């Protein structure tokens, strides 16, 4: 029984014949003397019946295509050793790493007299690398450059006026 004294949350299970005998008898006893619950019960029954028979408004899809896509996805998963690793870095960081390696090689070439007086070559290289760390700091941004595209313009490309210069 709810706080209000009405067995509100048992009305639908009652309609579905899901209550234990004692609960069912209690609901029946209450509904017999409560016009409010009797009306709710009748309306819930009508709603449930209409929901069961009313055509579903879900948009239709092509089931042949659905199964074909599913088979392809299944084959892809079966063919791969595992799900893609989330930390896979892709080609851009590889290009950055190659660039950094080229810088180090350049600095290591004979004639690049960057040796600090009495210092260590490794320290110099570290200093050079540190000066380029801003590239790595912005790695997250570089990887998401597509987010900077103007989606507003893309969204109305078909409505843009043609340029006078062709």
Partner 1 sequence: MERTDEALCRAVANREPGAFDLLVERYQERAYRIAWSVVRDREEAKDCAQEAFLRLHESAGTFAGQSKFSTWFYRILVNCCLDNRRRGRGWRRLLVWLDAADDERDEDPIERHPAPVEDPGAHVDEERQLSQLWDAVDRLSPRQRAVVLLQCREGLATKEIAEVLDMSEATVRVHLHRAFAALRRRVGARR
Kindly list the residues in this chain that would bind partner 1 in the complex (CB under 8 A).
Answer: 8-13, 16, 18, 40, 42-44, 46-48, 50-52, 54-59, 61, 63, 66-67, 69-70, 73-74, 77
Contact 2, 9 (CB under 8 A): yes
Dist. CA 57–CA 80, nearest whole Å: 38
Residue 113 CB, nearest approach to partner 1 (Å): 54
Q: Which is nearer to partner 1, 74 or 98 (CB)?
A: 74
Q: Which is nearer to partner 1, 53 or 137 (CB)?
A: 53
Q: Which is nearer to partner 1, 50 or 85 (CB)?
A: 50
Q: Which is nearer to partner 1, 12 or 107 (CB)?
A: 12
Q: What are the residues whose beta carbons fall under 8 Å from the beta carbon of 1, sequence distance 6 or more?
A: 7, 26, 30
Residue 73 CB, nearest approach to partner 1 (Å): 6
Contact 38, 31 (CB under 8 A): yes
| CB neighbour class for 14 (10 Å; exposed up to 12, middle 13-18, buried from 19) | buried
| CB neighbour class for 27 (10 Å; exposed up to 12, middle 13-18, buried from 19) | buried
Residue 44 CB, nearest approach to partner 1 (Å): 5
Q: How many other CB atoms are found less than 10 A from the CB of residue 42?
A: 12
Residue 142 CB, nearest approach to partner 1 (Å): 22
Residue 153 CB, nearest approach to partner 1 (Å): 20
Q: Which is nearer to partner 1, 18 or 126 (CB)?
A: 18
């Amino acid at each position: 029984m709810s706080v209000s004294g009405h067995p509100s949350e048992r009305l639908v299970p009652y309609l579905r014949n899901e209550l234990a005998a004692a609960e069912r008898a209690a609901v029946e006893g209450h509904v017999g003397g409560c016009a409010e619950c009797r009306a709710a019960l009748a309306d819930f029954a009508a709603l449930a019946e209409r929901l069961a028979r009313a055509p579903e408004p879900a948009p239709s899809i092509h089931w042949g295509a659905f199964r074909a896509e599913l088979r392809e996805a299944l084959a892809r998963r079966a063919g791969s050793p595992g799900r893609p690793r989330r930390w896979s870095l892709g080609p851009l960081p590889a290009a950055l790493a190659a660039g950094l390696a080229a810088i180090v090689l350049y600095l290591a070439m004979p004639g690049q007299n960057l040796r600090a007086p009495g210092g260590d070559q490794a320290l110099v290289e570290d200093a050079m690398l540190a000066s380029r760390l801003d590239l790595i700091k912005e790695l997250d941004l570089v990887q998401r450059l597509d987010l900077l595209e103007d989606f507003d313009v893309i969204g109305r490309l078909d409505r843009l006026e043609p340029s006078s210069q062709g």
